[in-house]
Amino acid sequence: MYLVAIAWMYVVLMMAVAEAFSPQGTVLGALVTLVLYGLLPLSIVMYLMGTPRRRAARRRAEAAEAARAPASAQPDDGGHAPAAQSVDAFMAERKES
């Protein structure tokens, strides 16, 4: 994967150099060539090609976190927080006179 990226950047760099040093070319044109033909597309492709690796790393991290979590963290295994007890259970009863 990295070999293709290095080769592509080499080709784009040579295109930018040729643009900068040609009689009709400009340095601004060389920079635009470098960014629009090289850096931008390559960054998108590298990000997309790295997706499976990031997904696998996230799954490994989640599995390690689940292995470290105590078994009593979720007693009902429902995936939700336990329900709060009613406020009435904690309030003192008032006697009427």
- What is the Cα–Cα distance from 35 to 29, expressed in whole angstroms? 10
Domain ranges of the chain: 2-68
Radius of gyration of the chain (CA): 30
The pLDDT value given to residue 83:
60
CB count within 10 Å of CB 65 equals 9
pLDDT greater than 90 at residue 86: no
- Band (pLDDT 50/70/90 cuts) for residue 95 is confident
Looking at residue 51, its amino acid is T
Cβ–Cβ < 8 Å for 30, 20: yes
Q: Enter the DSSP assignment of 24.
A: T
The pLDDT value given to residue 28:
96
| pTM tops 0.75, yes or no | no
Q: Please, what is the Cα angle at 45 between 42 and 50, to 5 degrees?
A: 120
User: What mean pLDDT is predicted for residues 8-32?
Assistant: 95
